Amino acid sequence: MSYEFEMPWPPSVNGYWRTFRNRQIISKRGREYRKNSLLLLDSIGLSNEELSSRLSVSVTLNPPTLRKYDVDNFTKAAFDALSVAKFWLDDEQVDRLTVTKGAKTKGGNIQIKVEVI
């Protein structure tokens, strides 16, 4: 079984978290990303899938600009949104992760392919 879909361009892990009163919280930008992602996942019927198997995930990052970026900074927000939407039980289920830099795309997005292994 596999799933292929696109999600909005996420904030980097550096912009996802903020320190507030000596604790880490999700930033305003992170909360907005999560809200928009949940609406999208619900609209394409991927909310509440509750996948419980081990998973292989391929991500293609299509950035909104040509600025340099680290590929390892952009999966956290998307994976957290998938967990909150109950697409899967937890991103701990991901045993294999491939992240690829894609092409600059207006607005940016990430293409995700999830395979049950």
In terms of Cα–Cα distance, which of 50, 58, 41 is closest to 88?
50
- State the maximum Cα–Cα separation within the chain, in Å, rounded to a whole number: 44
Predicted pLDDT of residue 16: 72
pLDDT beyond 80 at 18: no
2-116 in CATH: which number? 3.30.1330.70
The average pLDDT across 88-116 equals: 97
Span 41-73, pLDDT tens digits = 999 999 999 999 999 999 999 999 999 999 999
The pTM assigned to this predicted structure is: 0.89
Confidence category of residue 14, pLDDT binned at 50, 70, 90: confident
Structural domain boundaries in the chain: 2-116
